[in-house]
Structure 1
């Protein structure tokens, strides 16, 4: 004897075979959907775990410190090469050397790039000693800018250069230059006029020595 089909409370009667099949299909679909979500979450957690291993387990070296430039040693080599004294700025605690080299060409130039050591200071000044040159050489370094004025710094007269467009002139906004015996010394860069003059004044004893030796 067949057992009568149970009455479904929501329907108030037994399910038809079609309703039973539809209910089971819906239940199966819901189960598969939940399994898919669980799988996605598990995959995401596995990915995050692998990423954490890569970030925290891979050894990292310390950043390589910039090699200190031996300004005095390079200057001595340049003096030997040129058989002439060269300008060597006293860096003190304010300045650091970013570059120092002897540049060839129609006019040979001893070129030094200085920048402030402190992180809160900005800008740079290049010190260029052009051998056997005069003020006519300076515009070659300043995008064609000629001297517009003169100023006395440290008891000697300096030519003043103020490039009109620093952005188009390698960020050079101010320069001072003076004759040092047979050579022309040019200080140029993006620091203020006062900062440039302060550096210029510190070079005066060497500039006088070059003048007296010529």
Structure 2
């Protein structure tokens, strides 16, 4: 049988040499690896984007609309039958909201409570103890220590500033005063100006010193 002649390579016009054949195969292998690497990179990128999209859908949610303010003035009017002292219901701008209002017994003291959300989305609690005692005041102030006083619209408030404490929580700043048989305590996370705004709104309802 006559041996088969080596194939002529069109680009060369002759059969490949052994070295040329080896170089051609090596180049083909290199191109295959490069293509495979590119495909892997594209696949990894697509997978990463899919994960990011999933996290955005699952984790990132629109900020919920603020809860509608409760009508603490009406609640105060309804609760007034339980107290011989006028319950505080200050009139505040629409930028203020109340998220809680209730009349309850705390440390055996009848207590009127309103939880306010301020215009800067901070918190101030209003506590009015009827015939309050030192135990009640200590509980409502979370045993905060007096740090000074401030007079707002003729009403003198004792100040309890714990903002420099490690974790004061909702007792970062507090103010306390008395009016008739009521002890009023404000405490929360708001700024001085917002505490002053609430104290100013309360002042017409307090007895003059």
Aligned partner of 2:111 in structure 1 is 109
**Following superposition of structure 1 onto structure 2, how do residues 119-138 of structure 1 map, counting pairs within 5 Å?**
121=120, 123-134=122-133, 137-138=136-137
Q: Partner of 1:140: helix, strand, or coil?
A: helix
Distance, in Å, in 2 between the alignment partners of 1:160 and 1:57 is 46
In 1, the alpha carbon distance for the partners of 2:169 and 2:115 equals 13
Matched, 1:66 2:66: yes
Shift of 1:147: 4.2
- Scaled by the length of structure 2, what TM-score is found? 0.65
Equivalent position SS for 1:92: coil
In 2, distance between residues paired with 1:183 and 1:103?
Answer: 14
Structure 2 match to 1:97: 98
Give per-residue Cα distances to partners, 1:5-44, cap 9 Å, x unaligned: 98xxxxxxx734xx46533542442343244135335535
Deviates more, 1:127-136 or 1:179-188: 127-136
User: For residues 159 and 55 of structure 2, what CA distance do their matches in structure 1 show?
Assistant: 54
Segments of structure 1 that go 5 or more residues without pairing to the other structure are: 7-13
Cα deviation, 1:17-72, whole Å, max 9, x if unaligned, reads xx4653354244234324413533553576588679979999x9965423212222
Q: Tell me the alpha carbon deviations over residues 97-155 of structure 1, each in whole angstroms, 9 at most, x when there is no partner.
A: 243334543234322232332xxx47433211123214553222323235455554333
Distance 2:103 2:177 in 1: 19
2:195 maps to 196
Contact 2:179 2:207 in 1 (8 A): yes
Answer yes or no: is the 8 Å Cα contact 1:142–1:169 preserved in 2: no
Q: CA deviation at 1:89?
A: 2.0
Contact 2:85 2:130 in 1 (8 A): no
Aligned-pair Cα RMSD in Å: 4.5
TM-score by length of 1: 0.64
Cα deviation code 1:142-183 (max 9, x no counterpart) = 232354555543334433334485444325344322223322
- SS at structure 1 position matched to 2:22: helix
> What's 1:11 paired with?
none
In structure 2, runs of 5+ residues without a counterpart are 9-15
